[in-house]
Structure 1
């Protein structure tokens, strides 16, 4: 069980600090000039799972709560560009994985098309700059798992043609060619096909995303990649010992690669106390025979009672800022960004940051800690724009190479 001492200490260290009005005004000026580019949002799956993929029946121009994303909150959060994840379950494989990915891409393209005054499709840094200048939110796409290409580089290329900007090499399960951080290894890094995937992504200008991959796979990617890599929604393992988070040696290596680590806001990846509380809660839910992945008032009755007797540890903007600062120290402030994981967060996000309107609170905390306007602008979007520009430059340099034709025979 979590000790009372641990809870008290965690809550004290995470106590929020109300932003000074002058700091809030300064943050607003910074984010008006350089809006937030967020690396990961799971709205598309929520539309599929909760709303039966009936895209047009969900009014994103209105308050969508209990969803964590809508256009008014994106505006309030000063979001200028969003990578929308086209996640599918890791146990969906083969041709069905490709079909389901196309369905998810269709959902994203449809909700962009349904909101033309606010959202516009983007595939490049130049697109983002143009769309932000026009007062709209640039909308990009990320595939969240290499199982979604079904072992074929031709499928990878077609995703790129449909506007996909990055691919996370694995999700929760290891593949024949790359290993997940939360599964037993199968590739022990990257196989020949894994190297072919990285090379082809570099050739076509698709960013290699190393969130979810094992440490060994991440090291292999960094040794092979010719373009900067990204971690679209990962935090610092030195602060929160989660396999999904990144250890210091690899944070430094991503910095040396010219890449970017985009900090995840999910309490499970930024708070050790919250992880311990959630592990105890999950164990109780198992004994009670109820699902554990439901939080708040919608929880099953046994969990409502358990939550009342076991207060949830506080997670605030200060907690997230600790991870931003740590990654900034280890990888460099030119190599840190934000990947909130909104609508992929079970329960709620940090206090005051429970939806996509919460980014300014984090920037206010960083400003209070002495971050300059230039540092905050790089964190908000400048670093990601640099990675995208560099990725496009590498693709241009490789444009004379023919398409790769490797197939992962073992997955057939």
Structure 2
């Protein structure tokens, strides 16, 4: 979700504690759940539906246009690198090809950035072939894992990358993109965003958006409904002939009124279509207290903008926000909060329709205590084991469910 510099995106979301809801499950087997969690994370294939590494690197390019961080080695910053991925058991991170909404104002800019970020991912794999490899299919992902490599799958975050051309769907499929998030932080040519301010542009999918969904079905790209408005999601489900994913969304049950998360109704509808809800780790997605904190900051930032005669893009606004956050530190979510959201999806629709979509490198310092980076998936497995989840269930959560959707979309593609 790279945080956009808009009224809704001026802030880094914050976290606090909340009530915990879990399923009634049998007691876990005796033994060390922490060690068992580490062992399962090493052995099971873990797919993460959304990691913002490419844009993280894009923001720190050298004057020569090269990344200044080497993610094949342990890095001082960020949430992802190869050593930490190995520690955490992460096998298939979907690299987010994030396209800022403001680029929609400049013809050609969104597609150009998407192609550039794809070039970057390809180069990362090419320059460290002993550690990374591209995954353009489920079979490639499995083969890479068997060879001890971390697979880079790719998903475009913001269908504005297609510009106004349905033909660009096939272009990006050939480039290795395997899902497209139709919108991001603003309505675009394809449909309405959950973050859009004021009246929506389309009241759902646009005519072009419906054509794009059909073309994604045809060429074998998964449709991602994260970031979409409720009406847009409903119309995607009506239009798509294939299951869809929500690559990085959590449950609105815990954050009433936060449309970026999914309502129980929409979770059921996605599951009825055969799809998967991949739970995001950002504290603002997990806890109502984080939403309340963000609202307060947003109100104070807007008052500052008006008092000083600034625009939202003014550097003084970013400084104000940074200072405010230092003075009002947020209590972060916990691993148990992520487990609560997983429990909630399982309670609603069963284990076959939930996955992991952390948003690492996309939500700043709002990650839960115990899930600070990609080395920490074993902590989540530990908590789920303690709640009575078995190995077969964790395998579905970790990769089996999203692989099922990915493989079905592959298998039904038509040239």
- Common topology (TM > 0.5): yes
In 2, Cα distance between equivalents of 1:110 and 1:69: 17
Q: Is the 8 A contact 1:294 1:347 kept in 2?
A: no
1:368 equivalent to 2:386? Answer: yes
Q: Which residue of 2 aligns with 1:170?
A: 183
1:126 positional shift: 0.6
Match of 1:349 in 2: 367
Instruction: For residues 390-412 of structure 1, give each alpha carbon's deviation from its aligned partner in whole angstroms, at most 9, with x where no partner exists.
Output: 111221xx34xxxxxxxxxxxxx
Structure 2 gap segments, 5+ residues each: 1-14, 21-29, 306-315
Give the Cα–Cα distance (whole angstroms) in 2 for the partners of residues 152 and 387 of structure 1: 26
CA shift, 1:56, in A, is 5.0
Q: Which residue of 1 aligns with 2:160?
A: 147
- Conserved in 1, the CA contact under 8 Å of 2:61 and 2:67? no
Aligned residues: 376
Asked if 1:190 corresponds to 2:196, the answer is no
1:293 Cα offset (Å) = 8.6
**Contact 2:42–2:89 under 8 Å retained in 1:** yes
Higher mean alpha-carbon deviation, 274-283 vs 40-49, is at 274-283
- d(CA) in 2 for partners of 1:33, 1:111: 25
Q: What CA deviation, in whole Å up to 9, does each residue of 1:225-282 have, x standing for no partner?
A: 1111010000001112321101011101111111111100011111111221233234
Q: How far, CA to CA, are the matches of 1:189 and 1:25 in structure 2?
A: 47
Query: Could you tell me how far 1:288 is from its partner in structure 2?
Result: 5.8
Cα gap change, 1:139 to 1:92, in 2 (>3 Å): same
Whether the 8 Å CA contact 1:281–1:292 is kept in 2: the answer is no
Aligned counterpart, 2:91: 80
Q: Distance in 2 between matches of 1:394 and 1:359?
A: 32
Alpha-carbon deviations, 1:326-369, whole Å to 9, x = none?
11222321010001001101223100211111211111111111
User: 380-389 or 279-288: which moved more?
Assistant: 279-288
* 2:32 pairs with one of 5, 14, 22: 22
* Corresponding residue number in structure 1 for 2:43: 33
- Partner of 2:249 in structure 1? 234
Please give the secondary structure, in 1, of the residue aligned with 2:98.
coil
Does residue 393 (structure 1) correspond to residue 411 (structure 2)? The answer is: yes
State the Cα deviation string for residues 124-168 of structure 1 (Å, max 9, x = none).
111111111111111111111111101101112111111011100
1:358 aligned partner: 376
- Name the CA distance, whole Å, in 2 between partners of 1:192 and 1:90: 20
| Partner residue, 2:5 | none
Question: In structure 2, what is the Cα distance between the partners aligned to 1:282 and 1:185?
Answer: 21
Aligned-CA RMSD value: 2.2
Task: Give the alignment of 1:7-406 within 5 angstroms.
Answer: 11=17, 13=19, 22-52=32-62, 54-93=65-104, 94-183=107-196, 184-241=199-256, 242-286=258-302, 290-291=316-317, 299-300=322-323, 303-304=325-326, 306-307=327-328, 311-395=329-413, 398-399=414-415
Against the structure 1 CA distance between its residues 10 and 171, is the aligned structure 2 distance closer, same or farther, given a 3 Å change threshold? Answer: closer
- Kept in 2, the 8 Å contact 1:28–1:360? The answer is yes
Secondary structure of the structure 2 residue equivalent to 1:72:
helix
Q: How far did residue 66 of structure 1 move?
A: 2.4
Looking at structure 2, the residues matched to 267 and 294 of structure 1 have their Cα atoms a distance apart, in angstroms, of 21
Shifted more, 62-71 versus 138-147: the winner is 62-71
4+ residue segments displaced more than 6 Å: none
RCO higher in structure (CA 8 A, sep ≥6) = 2
SS in 1 for 2:102: coil
Q: What runs of 5+ residues in structure 1 fail to find an aligned partner?
A: 1-8, 15-19, 400-412
Q: What is the CA–CA distance in structure 1 between the aligned matches of 2:31 and 2:361, rounded to whole Å?
A: 29
